[in-house]
Amino acid sequence: MGPMDLRQGIGLRRLGTTTDEFQQDLLSSLYYRRGTTVESASAHDAYDALALTVRDRLADRRARTAAAHYASNPRWVYYLSAEYLLGAQLEQNLLYSGTGEVAAQAVKALGRSLQEIEDLDVEPGLGNGGLGRLAACLVDSMATRDIPAVGYGIRYDFGIFKQSLENGGQAERPDDWAFQGNPWEFPAPDDRQTVGFYGHTEPIAGSQTRKRWVPGEIVLGEPSHMLVPGYGTETVNIVRLWRARGSEASFDLSRFSAGQYAEAVQEAVRAENISKVLYPDDSTELGRELRLKQQYFLCSCSLRDIIRRFRLRNSDWADFAAKTIIQLNDTHPTIAIPELMRLLVDEYELDWDQAWSITRRTFAYTCHTLLPEALETWPVHLFERLLPRHLEIIYLINLLFLREVEARFPGDNDRLRRMSIIGEGDERRVRMAHLAVVGTEAVNGVAELHSKLLRETVLQDFADLWPAKFQNVTNGVSPRRFVKLANPRLADLITEGLGDDGWLNDLERLAELESLADDAAFMERWRAVKRANKVDLAAGDPDSLTDVMIKRFHEYKRQQLKLLHVITMYQRIRQNPAGDWVPRTVLFAGKAAPAYHAAKNIIRLINAVGATIAADPVVSPYLKVVFAENYNVTLAERIIPAADLSEQISLAGKEASGTGNMKLALNGALTVGTLDGANIEIRARVGEENFFLFGLDAYQAAEVQIRGYNPREHYEWDTELKAALDAITAGRFDGAGRELVDSLLGWDEYLTLADYRSYLDAQEEVERAWRDPARWTRMSILNTAHSGFFSSDRTIADYAARIWRVAPVTVPKEDQ
C-alpha cells in the first residue's frame, strides 16, 4: 500500500472539497465533537467546529507526510527552540489548506460570518520577540520546502504577558492563551517522557566514564503537537510542545486525607511550574534556577523523543548523525549537548569517543546576539545541584577540548582561560555559548555583519581554531504570513502585476515588479493599497506619513532616539506654526521586560509626549504619537501593511539581524536605518538611493567608545538636541523622562546623542522624498521588488544546503 492509499486502505471516506461537503463536516464537528446544536452554539462553539474541520484537512496531509518520511528514512531536521511565536492559526490554516472560500460560505449555516469567527482566534504567544517569530517562520519554510523536520518547544501555560497602558506606563497581565482550549493541538500522552533533576551520581564498577545518576526529583513531560503545513505543497510537519506534569507519586493522598491540601499537591505544583510561564526577558539573563530547569526539561524530553524516532527506523548508532541534525536556536537548548552524551554513554553504553564523535556531528548552533549580557552563563554551583551528572560531563568535555587548544597553541594560557567552557571569575560559571561552539559541527550568525562580528569579537578565539565551522545564514520571513495574510490588497496587486501568484513560493520573482515602478497606473494603485491599509489601521490621518517603530523596547534599539526626533519636531512646529510641515503619525508598539525599568520609562515618556502634542492645537494637526498596546504577531500583521516609514535605528553592531526590517521593506515601507544587522543587506538589495541611511557604523561606534565618549559634547554644541533634553528635564512632558536624560548625559551607552544630528538629517531627506509622491511610490515599489531575498524559504534553502546537508522529500498527492 503506497502512502497515498492510506485512507482508502482502511476504508475511510475522503474529505470533500465542495462547499456542501465542507458544510456537512462543519455541522458534524459541531454536533459530534463540540456536542452542541446550531441553535444553541456559541460563537466559540462555531470557532472550534470550524477549526476542527480545517484541522481535519491538514491531518489528512499529515498522515501522508508521516508515511512518506517514514518510507524514505531521511536525515531529519530537529529544531530546538525555547520559543515559538506562531501567530493566529485559523486564517493561516484556511489559506494553507485552500479552504478559505468554502469555509466562508459554509459558516453561514451557523449564522455567522467568517470574520466574526476569526476574531476569536487567540495567538499562542509562546515567545518574546524576533527570535521566537523567526522559529515560526523557519518551521513554515521547512514544511514549504518539503524538509522532514520537527520543531520542539515548551507548551507554556502562560505565554508572553499581555501589555496595557495604565496612566501612560506599561502594565502586565498574564496571558492564559489556552483558557478556552486549543483546537489546533493533538495530545500524544503515549510519548510522554520522564525527566530527572537534582540528586547525585554514583560510579559504575569497571567503567571510567560511565556513571549512574540518581535524581532527587522526577517530572513527566507530556507532548502535544500542532500542525505546520507547507504552502503550495502536500507536506505537513509538526511542532511538538512539552508540558510538565507531576508523576502519580507526586500527589500525597495521606496528607490530602488529613486535610493538608496545599502540602498534598506541593510536589505536583513544583513539577508543573516548569512549563508554567515563558520568561518575559528579551536578551538579558534572569539567572533563575527555574529557567535552567525549563531548558533541561525541553532538551531531555526532545532528545529522548528524537532517539525513539531514530530507533523506529534504524538500529546502528553509527548512523545516528547521518539521520539526525539538531539545530540549537540560540544557547537556550545547549544543555542538549551534555544530555546526548549522558544518554549515549550512561544509558546506551557507547564509549566516550564514539559518543562525542556522534554528538559533534549531530548538533549545529545559531547565535542570535552580540550583547554580552545575552550570552548565557550559569553558576557552577547551580549546575552542581540541579544537574550533577551534566556538570561532570561538561568538565570532561572541557578537559579534552582544552587539550586540543593547548596542542594547537602551546603555552598560551591566556587563550585557554578565555576559551574555557568554565569561566573563572568571582564566581565560576558555565559558558553556554562556548559549550555550544565546542559541541557542534557548525555555528552561524543571522546576518552578514553579525556573523562577521561574531568571528571578530565574541567568538574570535574559536574562529581562529576552527575557521570552517563558522558560517552566516541571513534570516528571512514568511511571505505567506507577512504579505498574503497580512496584506491581501498588496498580494492581489502583486499577483496581478506578475500575472500569477507563484511569487509566494519563489519570492525573488518580486524583482519583476521593477518594470512597473514607473507605470503611472500601477503606481496609483500601489498608493491606493497603502492608503486603504492605513484607513483600516485607523491610527491617524491616512494621508499623513505613517512612521512606525515596532519591536521590543530596548535601549540598544534606541526608541529614545526616535523620541528625541519627535520632541524636536514638536519644538520646531511650535516655533514656526506657519511652516510647511509634513504631517506625520508616529506609531510605537512593543513590550518592555517587566523588570527593565529604563525601557519602561521610555514607554512612559512616549505616552507623555504624545499627550502633550495631542493637547496642543498648534502642533497636533501635523504630528501625532500613537502607542499601540500589546504588540504581538496579530497586531504586527495590521501595522506593517500600513507603514510608510520603517524605523531601524539600533546602534550599529548591536542588532544581530532584525526581521521586522524585512517585513516592512517587503510591504513597501522605506527604511530609515543604521548600518546594522540585516539593514545592510536590505540596503544593498533595494539600492542606496531607496534607503535613508544615517549614523556611525559598527567600527566607528567601537572606536568612539574606545577613545572615550562624552555625550555632553553633543548636548553642548547641538542647540536643538539641548532644547529637546532640557524640555524633558524641565518637566514639559508631565515630568516623565528625567532618568532617561540623566543616563543619556551621563554615559549614553548606545551613543544616542552621537547619532542624533545624522538621524535628523536623514529624516529631512525622508520628508523631501515624501513631498514627491511619484518618487516615494517608485522607491516603495522598488523596496518590495528587491526584498525577495528575505524570504525564509531562502533561509531554509541555505540551512539545508550548507549546514544540514538534507534534501527535500516529496509527499505524494492523494490518488484522484
Window 585-644: residues binding ligand GL7 (CB under 6 A): none
Asked if 99 is part of the footprint of ligand GL7 (rule: CB under 6 A), the reply reads: no
Is 368 part of the annotated catalytic residue set? yes
CB of 172 to ligand GL7, least distance (A): 18
Q: Does 376 bind ligand GL7 (CB under 6 A)?
A: no
Give residues 428-457 in contact with ligand GL7 (rule: CB under 6 A). Answer: 446
Q: Which of 3, 479, 677, 695 binds ligand GL7 (CB under 6 A)?
A: 677
Q: Is 282 in the site for ligand GL7 (CB under 6 A)?
A: yes
Residues 762-791 that bind ligand GL7 (CB under 6 A): none
Q: Letter for the amino acid at 632? A: N
663 in catalytic set = yes
The residue from 23, 224, 560, 657 that contacts ligand GL7 (CB under 6 A) is 657
Q: How far is 157 from 229, CA to CA, in rounded Å?
A: 24
Q: Which is nearer to ligand GL7, 97 or 659 (by Cβ)?
A: 659
Q: Whose Cβ is closer to ligand GL7: residue 368's or residue 481's?
A: 368
Residue 327 interacts with ligand GL7 (CB under 6 A): yes or no: no
Verify binding: residue 568, ligand GL7, rule CB under 6 A.
no
Min dist CB 129 to ligand GL7, Å, is 4
Q: Which of 155, 240, 243, 368 does the annotation list as catalytic?
A: 368
Catalytically annotated residue among 245, 332, 480, 552: 552
Classify 470 as helix, strand or coil: strand
Instruction: Determine which one of 429, 431, 558, 663 is catalytic.
Output: 663
Whole-angstrom distance, CA of residue 693 vs CA of residue 569: 19
- Whole-angstrom Cα distance, residue 453 to residue 459? 8
Q: Find all residues with CB under 8 Å of 207, minimum gap 6, and list them.
A: none
Instruction: Give yes or no: 671 in active site.
Output: no
Q: What is the DSSP string of 637-703?
A: HHHGGG-SEEEE-PPTTT-S--SHHHHHHHTTPEEEE-S-TTHHHHHHHH-GGGSEE-S--HHHHHH
CA distances from 479 to 141, 230, 804 (A): 10, 12, 23
Q: Choose between 605 and 662: whose C-beta lies nearer to ligand GL7.
A: 662
Q: Which of 23, 237, 283, 546 binds ligand GL7 (CB under 6 A)?
A: 283
Piece of the chain touching ligand GL7 by CB under 6 A; list 102-110, 124-132, 770-778, 781-789: 124-132
Q: Does 674 bind ligand GL7 (CB under 6 A)?
A: no
Is 557 an active-site residue?
yes
Residue 786 near residue 509, CB atoms below 8 Å = no
Stretch of 126-134, 315-323, 344-352, 492-500 lying at the interface with ligand GL7 (CB under 6 A): 126-134
Size of the site for ligand GL7 (CB under 6 A): 18
Cβ atoms within 10 Å of 276's Cβ, excluding its own: 16
Query: First vs last Cα of the chain: how many Å apart?
Result: 15
Nearer to ligand GL7, 69 or 450 (CB): 450
Q: Using the rule CB under 6 A, is 130 a contact of ligand GL7?
A: yes
Candidates 62, 551, 584, 604; catalytic one: 551
Query: In angstroms, what is the minimal distance from the CB of 631 to ligand GL7?
Result: 13
Question: In this structure, what C-alpha cell is assigned to residue 801?
Answer: 544546503
Q: Which of 557, 654, 732, 794 is catalytic?
A: 557
Interacting residues with ligand GL7 between 167 and 226 (CB under 6 A): none
How far, in Å, CA of 640 to CA of 664, rounded?
6
Stretch in the footprint of ligand GL7 (CB under 6 A) among 122-130, 188-196, 425-433, 761-769? 122-130
Distance CA 725, CA 564 (A): 8
Evaluate whether 239 touches 226 at the Cβ level (below 8 Å).
Answer: yes
Distance CA 324, CA 804 (A): 9
Q: Which is nearer to ligand GL7, 339 or 655 (CB)?
A: 655
Comparing CA positions, the residue from 137, 136, 173 lying closest to residue 158 is 173
Q: State the minimum distance, in angstroms, from the CB of residue 449 to ligand GL7.
A: 11
Asked if 732 and 616 touch (Cβ cutoff 8 Å), the reply is no
Minimum CB distance to ligand GL7 smaller for 81 or for 398: 81
CA–CA gap between residue 220 and residue 587 (Å, rounded):
45
Identified binder of ligand GL7 from the candidate list 30, 131, 465, 561, rule CB under 6 A: 131
CB of 329 to ligand GL7, least distance (A): 9
Residue from 74, 87, 125, 129 binding ligand GL7 (CB under 6 A):
129
- Between 67 and 370, name the residue whose CB sits nearer to ligand GL7: 370
Catalytic residue, candidates 53, 324, 366, 659: 659
Q: Work out whether 646 is an interface residue with ligand GL7 (CB under 6 A).
A: no
Task: Read off φ and ψ for residue 382, nearest 5 degrees.
Answer: -70, -45
Q: Are 219 and 249 in contact (CB under 8 A)?
A: no
Residue 656 in the binding site for ligand GL7 (CB under 6 A): yes
String of contacts with ligand GL7 for each residue 349-368, x by CB under 6 A: -------------------x
Q: Per the structure block, which three cell numbers stand in for 708?
A: 572615550
Q: How far apart are CA 511 and CA 526, in angstroms?
A: 16
What phi and psi, each to the nearest 5 degrees, are found at residue 693?
-95, 145
CB closer to ligand GL7 out of 476 and 737: 476
Q: How far is the CB of 551 from ligand GL7 (least distance, A)?
A: 8
What minimum distance in Å lies between the beta carbon of 131 and ligand GL7? 4
Q: Among this protein's residues, is 36 annotated catalytic?
A: no
Nearer to ligand GL7, 19 or 472 (CB): 472
Residue 671 in contact with ligand GL7, rule: CB under 6 A:
no
Site membership for ligand GL7, residue 140 (CB under 6 A): no
| Nearest by Cα to 395 from 437, 436, 435, 361 | 435
Give the whole-angstrom CA distance, residue 364 versus residue 381: 27
Using CB under 6 A as the binding rule, whether residue 658 contacts ligand GL7 is answered as yes
Q: Is residue 226 helix, strand or coil?
A: strand
Contact flag: residue 664 with ligand GL7 (CB under 6 A)? no
Taking the complex as a whole, how short is the minimal distance between the CB of residue 548 and ligand GL7, in angstroms?
17
CA dihedral sign, ordered 574, 577, 580, 585: positive
Interface pick for ligand GL7 out of 655, 748, 755, 793 (rule CB under 6 A): 655
Nearest approach, Cβ of residue 83 and ligand GL7 (Å): 8
What distance in Å separates the CA atoms of residue 600 and residue 248, rounded to the nearest whole number? 43
How is residue 50 written as a grid cell?
470550524
Q: 3-class SS at 781?
A: helix
Q: Which residues contact 764 (CB under 8 A, 6 or more apart)?
A: none
Interaction between residue 475 and ligand GL7 (CB under 6 A): yes
The answer to whether 737 contacts ligand GL7 (rule: CB under 6 A) is: no
SS3 for 435?
Answer: helix
291 is a site residue for ligand GL7 (CB under 6 A) = no
| Binding test (CB under 6 A) with ligand GL7, winner from 97, 99, 128, 783 | 128
* CB nearer to ligand GL7: pick between 162 and 554: 554
Rounded CA separation 513/781 (Å):
7
Q: Where are the alpha helices (DSSP H) in 29-148?
A: 43-72, 90-96, 100-106, 114-118, 130-144
Q: What is the Cα–Cα distance from 589 to 552, expressed in whole angstroms?
A: 8
With CB under 6 A as the contact rule, which of the stretches 620-628, 652-660, 719-727, 771-779 interacts with ligand GL7? 652-660
Residue 374 in the binding site for ligand GL7 (CB under 6 A): yes
SS3 619: coil
DSSP string spanning 17-62? Answer: -SHHHHHHHHHHIIIIIS---TTT--HHHHHHHHHHHHHHHHHHHH
Residue indicated by cell numbers 548625559: 745
Nearer to ligand GL7, 267 or 655 (CB): 655
Binding site for ligand GL7 (CB under 6 A): 128-131, 134, 282-283, 368-369, 374, 446, 475, 655-659, 677
**Residues with a known catalytic role:** 368, 551-552, 557, 659, 663
